[in-house]
Chain A
């Protein structure tokens, strides 16, 4: 446990010094909202239908920035190799990086969501609170695979492009489920599918966190 904690603490120390990750993600999401506004001129009714998708496009595109940044610092001075040379279990190193990128993304999501509400005039109600568990489950799905695949990609020179190529198709299920449930929440009415889909997201998260935990050892081997 102390390994996980040490990695999270280290990442937060760096982040709160530079504020590079969270600020960049936030600004990037803001840009997505602005560009979206110009590229699609749509009615208010239609906007409500697609706002869930828009929110997740912002989350995930910005999340890619966060992931790349999070592993850039582990590459700069051979740090990932340095970590792997310590007695720490590689699975715990995975968990440390996984949790710290997840926390960064959740913080950024919490910071951009109010802006999203203002820009697209989302009606708030108690149902809106469901966005919190959805964001958590969706983000865990994204970062569970994102973390291990980032560690795969940093061994190549084309780190960023490769991460996108690998990660996007694999997280299709999470995107589908998160967009659907978010759509429900933003429309203020949960459909019958809401609960089972939440369970599916949880299953996805558990499967890929476990698999990644088990496989991370092979990612750092030489």
Chain B
């Protein structure tokens, strides 16, 4: 557990007029809950794309589980949860899981599917189409899909967008459970309260640069809020 899961050194992503990252360095230790705060366009999504191997950096070094994410060898250890579910509305809950399970080549898929469906409390609805699900149920199935292949690293890209209070609490509960299982979690959000409640370390991105990084120990929400707003530009901040 000594080797950090994510090591980023001076990551830059520039393309023509688009500057998405201007030299970002940070490390995420195994088992850490690491939160990246920042406004839209601060570079959070680009960073997660690079970590997941969907995009490549123009310059700098990135290692995830000690390997270059562009090689896609780390994909089975990784799971992405965003505000999009990646689920098919016209498939049943079980069919959706079975499909993703095959793409991830999950061993003992059948047992595993029933297992995760029980975990998220959807086992009784496993033969129902996703399009008949409520938002909260879709969210729970998304979680089932994300934990199906038992990944070690979770990338949570603004997962609270569009969730109601209940679904938000449910997602927070899941993250706490994952944290206690020793999973590494990287969360991007602009919600300071939730981020502070969950994370062990945090980083603030502003205008494609890291402006602050540290431990949440001894940090109150008020302190974080003041720090955050002093670092990001005034007035237009905090959507």
Contacts and interface: CB of A to CB of B under 8 A. Distances in A.
Interface string A184-196: 0000000000000
A86 B90 contact: no
Interface string B61-93: 000000000001001101010101111111100
Interface stretch (B30-38, B99-107, B180-188, B223-231): B99-107
B84 A222 contact: no
A78 B104 contact: no
Contact of A79 (B72, B88, B104, B129): B88
Contacts, number: 73
A10 B52 CA distance: 25
B102 A73 contact: no
Contacts of A43: none
A50 interface: no
A89 to B, nearest CB: 8
| Chain A residues touching B, majority SS | helix
Contacts of B78: 85
A104 B84 CA distance: 27
A83 B105 CA distance: 13
Contact of A222 (B55, B87, B104): B55
B85 A2 contact: no
A191 B202 CA distance: 73
A221 B53 CA distance: 9
A123 B211 CA distance: 77
B104 A86 contact: yes
A197 interface: no
A88 B72 CA distance: 9
A18 interface: yes
Contacts of B219: none
B86 A82 contact: yes
A22 B80 CA distance: 33
A14 interface: yes
Interface string A135-151: 00000000000000000
Contacts of B87: 77, 79
Nearest to A85: B80
Nearest to B95: A13
21 contacts: A5-B102, A10-B88, A10-B95, A13-B91, A13-B95, A17-B129, A73-B88, A77-B88, A78-B84, A79-B87, A81-B54, A81-B84, A82-B84, A82-B86, A82-B100, A86-B75, A86-B103, A86-B104, A88-B103, A221-B54, A222-B49
